[in-house]
Structure 1
Amino acid sequence: MEESISGKIATHEEEFTGTVTYDLTTGLITKVERTILPNSRNFSEDCLIFPGFGDIHIHAREDISGKHTYKEDFVSAGEAAINGAVLHVADMPNNPVPPINDLTYEEKTRLTQKSRIHITLYAGIGPNTSPLSKKVPYKVFMGPSIGELFFEDNASLEKVIERYRGQDVSFHCEDPETLTANKAKPTHEERRPKEAETLATDFALMLIEKYELKGKLCHYSTKDGLQKIIAAKKRGINVTCEVTPTHLMFDMDMLTPENHKWFQMNPPLRGKEDRMAMVQGILDGYIDFLATDHAPHTIEEKVKGISGISQLDTYGLFVTYMILNLNIPIRMIALICSKNPGDFVKPYLPAKYGSGFGEIKEGYAANFSVLNLKKPFSFSRQMIKSKSGWSPFEGFTFPGSIEAAYFLGKEMHAK
């Protein structure tokens, strides 16, 4: 059985008015036409149909121990994603039982089947780990973060990275020695200063080049560090980087004694100059992914000062802010929210997804994120599907809204 949707279609290559037809049995696109078919669901000219958004950096919290599922699990993470018009995610490995070998990775993979969207898993790199027998993406925490999967110094990190030559490795760039030297400072921002990110960036780029890694630097936040990434890209080093919604929208100038704990994250908020550099990095084509680093903690935990921001529910809404307030071109949005995330997970996808995610072409999954750019939307706590139960965007009115989300041709509504 085939169905179709039509309207203004936005890809990383072009914008055009047309119709996308897909097979509901396979969930794959069968035809893309540059005309409006009469029997299709026609979205108004106020809307844009994007290839389904993908968030390749979330923390769904679930593993076989079940210890952290009170924060989030694969079911609730999937519903929060759908709520934000996100149709696939990639989950980080800093769990009580981290996926660091074939057995723990497969055990965690089975748990993801509960979600109504697709979840890709990173395997963890930590002291004494080795690559899995099959191809997977990896994540390394260069300094202490949430969980126990991290390194105390660069020498021990490199000793392990030697085993991962040629692998797909994402880095949380915070230099462990800098964090240790500043741990007695009075504020979170001072305890995790810019230098921690920039020094770790130097070391990560060296590792990526030396060990021929497919490297990705996570949740980038500093102007100086971004310049290092740009220089590395120009030298031909195989590196990409992410930015989060919070580092694009907020900076230290908005912190108050009342909101400080709510906006505590790793890496922390930086100055206005750094924030604007992240926006410019997208405009110039040097930032590759909008990724939330969705880190759901309970309200009680945030009050105590736990680092992490819950923001998967608002991904699509924030995209309207990027288009209408930050003036990010629509094709660039399709690149960093759809195409690049789809390319990142493509090597790890099951065959049922055809050519994969992130493009509106025949043979690709019929995943669509439809935004209305003329219909403002006020977000409230009651709308949150994440178990965290809170959002940094509570009470904020976004300039646009989410019109619809489709996964494998089926319209999705968050439960």
Structure 2
Amino acid sequence: MASTIRRISGKFQDSKGSYLATLDLDPSTGLINSIHKNVLIQDPKSDELAFDPEKYLIFSGFGDIHVHAREDESGKHKYKEDFQSAGLAAINGGVIHIADMPNNPIPPTDDRTYAKKRELADHSPIRITLYAGIGPNTKPLHSHVPYKAFMGPSIGELFFYSNEQLENTIRHYKGCNVSFHCEDPEILEQNQEAKYHEDRRPAIAETLATDFALYLIEKYELVGKLCHYSTEEGLQKIIAAKKKGVKVSCEVTPTHLYFDRSMLNDSNRHWFQMNPPLRGPEDKNALLQGVKDGWIDYLATDHAPHSIEEKLKGTSGISQLDTYALFVTWLHKSAGVSLEKIAEICSENPGSFVKEFLPKEFGNGFGKIEEGYCASFTVLDFNTPTTFKKEDIKSKSGWSPFEGFTFPGSIRSVIHLGKTVR
């Protein structure tokens, strides 16, 4: 059972550096009341948490802004995941808020379907931000929400068959917050008979779609985000657009940072089938450098909790919400990403993304260790290794690409809205 915390102390980490502090929390709101730097709790009481600053590092709670929780009013995909199990998997992975994608059997593309899904999402143990779907002939909702556009076929029926069809719809979303799954539908159709999944969805499908997405973002003044980026050439296009002043950000998944096509064989290929697919080692290395250099804005899993039976039959998508914070320890200790950058792409930027879509009870939102922000924290130990086992999985999917993998660190605690939840 979660216990309520009134004060927390230790070494905190944000994008500017680390510092010692004690935070006073408001138990009635779950928000941060005040911050006392260079002050530590000496003899903690029952409602106080004191983390050894020599062993643990406290981040503002991590957020994953690209998750497929699979639940909608049809209930057809609840066997894969639902909002309750997705929330538990997130907490297990050190994540305290997520954003859920709209490619459901009944996609949330209008006010009614979005409201129905919102009601279901509110049953989760953590806050879930919902994307509305953009498909052929859809229009913006009356409420302020983020949107997702699938430029080509992926999982579900919410996608476009041509760039002309996409632009005819996007013109109605001028100024909106729109995320794009960048795969060109015509390239996918041309390559659909290739032997391997990664050849059926070649790199050029992503890079050509990137060109068009950047064109749409600039022309229609969108707040644009490119999802689960996978190619070096495409990343260079994003960098050029950012330097030009285009309002675009991008995500990268743990799988595209750790695995690459050279690791695939006939026995594991089905487990790593996803959209976009794994690319070459040079793409993986370029993405990792993009994280270090600050061009990639979010670590986002694209958690796709398909069942083991579905994966064996060739369904695309990877289940990885349970290992988010453990992967962060690899990102720092093994891949050399700074703690400041981790705080930025895992805490601050995800918090900024969802901030404008949060109800008032979440105060100033997630992602920052400041007064008025949510008292939600991910506490990590970067020096005690963890071997992730199948029995550690909370997602209904029941599998993980990191089963048996030993991460260099571990999750010490997860605190959400002033309560210990892990």
Q: Give the TM-score taking structure 1 as reference length.
A: 0.99
Deviations, residues 121-145 of structure 1 (Å, cap 9, x unaligned): 0000001100000110000000001
* Separation in 1, partners of 2:256, 2:59: 23
Classify the secondary structure of the residue corresponding to 1:219.
Answer: coil
Which residue number in structure 2 is paired with residue 133 of structure 1? 142
Q: Is the 8 A contact 1:29 1:363 kept in 2?
A: yes
Could you tell me how far 1:200 is from its partner in structure 2? 0.2
What is the DSSP-based 3-state SS (H/G/I as helix, E as strand, rest coil) of the residue aligned with 1:229? helix
The structural deviation recorded for 1:42 is 1.6
Match of 2:51 among 43, 51, 57: 43
- Contact 2:5 / 2:49 at 8 angstroms: preserved in 1? no
Does 2:320 match 1:317?
Answer: no
Q: Is the 8 A contact 1:71 1:297 kept in 2?
A: yes
Q: Which of the numbers 32, 35, 43 marks the counterpart of 1:32?
A: 35
Query: Which one is further off, 153-162 or 19-28?
Result: 19-28
What is the aligned partner in structure 1 of residue 24 from structure 2? 21
1:367 aligns with 2:370: no
Residue of structure 1 aligned with 2:13, choices 10, 14, 20: 10
- The residue identity in structure 1 corresponding to 2:184 is D
Aligned residues: 413
1:307 is matched with which residue? Answer: 316
Check conservation: 2:69, 2:100, Cα contact below 8 A: yes
Q: Which runs of 5+ in 2 are unaligned?
A: none
Question: Does residue 380 of structure 1 match 2:389?
Answer: yes
Displacement, 1:2? 6.4
1:358 aligns with 2:367: yes
Amino acid corresponding to residue 29 of structure 2 in structure 1? T
Whether contact under 8 Å (2:5, 2:418) holds in the other structure is no
Of 87, 99, 103, 1:94 maps to 103
- Once the two structures are superposed, what CA deviation does each residue of 1:182-225 show, in whole Å capped at 9, x if it has no partner? 00111001000000000000000000000000000000000000
- List 4+ stretches of structure 1 deviating above 3 A: none
Question: Match for 1:409 among 408, 418, 421?
Answer: 418
Shift of 1:119: 0.2
Unaligned stretches of 5+ residues in structure 1: none
Give the Cα–Cα distance (whole angstroms) in 2 for the partners of residues 178 and 47 of structure 1. Answer: 48
Pairwise mapping of residues 16-415 of structure 1 onto structure 2 (< 5 A)? 16-34=19-37, 35-38=39-42, 39=44, 40-44=48-52, 45-413=54-422
**Secondary structure of 2:322's partner?**
coil
Can you list the C-alpha shifts for 1:358-383, whole angstroms capped at 9, x where unaligned?
Answer: 00011000010000011100000101
Contact in 2 for aligned 1:2/1:21 (Cα 8 Å):
no
**CA–CA distance in structure 2, aligned partners of residues 19 and 243 of structure 1:** 33
SS of structure 2 residue aligned to 1:313: helix
Moved more, 19-28 or 342-351: 19-28
C-alpha distance in 1, partners of 2:211/2:23? Answer: 45
Taking the aligned partners of 1:33 and 1:322, their CA distance within structure 2 comes to 30
Q: Secondary structure at the match of 2:285?
A: helix
CA distance in 1, matches of 2:33, 2:196: 55
> Could you tell me which amino acid in structure 2 is paired with residue 227 of structure 1?
Q
Structure 2: distance between partners of 1:121 and 1:113: 10
Q: 1:177 offset after TM fit, Å?
A: 0.4
Measure the CA separation in 1 of the matches of 2:301 and 2:56: 23
SS at match of 1:278: helix
